[in-house]
Amino acid sequence: MLRRMAVFALLGLTLSGCQRQKRGGQSLEVAFIPKLVGIPFFNSAKQGAEQAARELGVQMTYAGPPSADAALQVNVIQDMIAKQVDVLAVAANDPSALAPVLRRARKAGIKVITWDSDTLPDAREFFVNQVMDEQLGRHVMKLLAEQMGGRGEYAIITGALTASNLNNWMEWMKREQQEHYPEMKLVTVVACDDDQQKAFLEGQTLLQAYPNLKGIIGNSSAAPPGAAQAVQQAGKSGQVAIAGVSSPNLMRDYIKRGTARTITLWDPRRLGYLAMYMAVQFGHGKLPQDGQQVPSIGAVRFLNGVVIMGEPLDFTKDNVDKYDF
């Protein structure tokens, strides 16, 4: 009896292995999971990922939580594990909270990468990043400092307080300010959870609580337009500087009106394309290479488990109409 059970168990393992091998062929399926669905940044990233999936002939499943909530994102990932997708490509809402479920996915034979926002390194194979964290953080702070004349109070409206990419950028912003602009003072950091309306309300609160506020950094694509709306409604355009990361479509009117001078980002469609391209390559057993040429992207860097897409892009009144995302 025990021998028969052992044979059936071995057969089951063999069939499971065959199924995984079959799924890894032409029917490769990649689950592309954003921090949340429904906002312009991730909508654009989805378009880029879909383009890459079409070009590479793989199946893409796009699913994410309705809000930037790590627990809800864990549920989405659990569904993808149950579905037995071949590759998970995840923009992590919380590096620590997502690590256990991503480790379970890897143990189940699913290949795991992250993009946009990382998890703990042992929970994924590699991370597809937009830019170098230091480069972006210092750049955004320099833009704000230039507008503020290197002195005065400023605040930061970030996205989710647990997002690793946002926290890394913010640390470099603070370091740049402390090292080069000692007459500037960070009064507070508040979270908008990637919700533009909440960013607007937080901006209103900041302007009331800190009457001497001279600048606001929006450290999430939803934060600068919310902050700019608050500044504009308070009649403080030109008095309170706006800097940060957001898309041209969200910031176009504020830039043209002079409420914001320069906003920084990258093309999220390119990021989505690159993340899907790397996910498919990894699904077929290939790791990224430093200097690798990627169609529609160009040469990318691969350093210490991180794929780096390229340079940040500034949007001003002179170029904002050239972009549509």
Report the alpha-carbon distance of residue 17 to residue 19 in Å, rounded: 5
Across 24-28, 250-254, 267-271, least confident range = 24-28
Question: What does DSSP say about strands 29-33 and 59-62: parallel, antiparallel, or unpaired?
Answer: parallel
The tens digit of pLDDT for each residue in 175-185 reads 999 999 999 99
Burial grade of 226 (CB within 10 A; 0-12, 13-18, 19 or more): buried
Give pTM, 2 decimals: 0.84
| Structural fold of domain 133-265 | Rossmann fold (3.40.50)
The tens digit of pLDDT for each residue in 53-112 reads 999 999 999 999 999 999 999 999 999 999 999 999 999 999 999 999 999 999 999 999
Burial 18-46 (b: 16+ CB within 10 A, else e): eeeeebbeeebbbbbbbbbbebbbbbbbb
- Domain boundaries in the chain? 2-130+268-309, 133-265
Helices and strands (DSSP H and E) totals, the chain: 10, 15
Q: What are phi and psi of 188, to 5 degrees?
A: -170, 160
Taking Cα atoms as reference points, which of 182, 119, 196, 109 lies closest to residue 145?
A: 182
Question: What does DSSP say about strands 301-303 and 306-308: parallel, antiparallel, or unpaired?
Answer: antiparallel
| Structural fold of domain 2-130+268-309 | Rossmann fold (3.40.50)
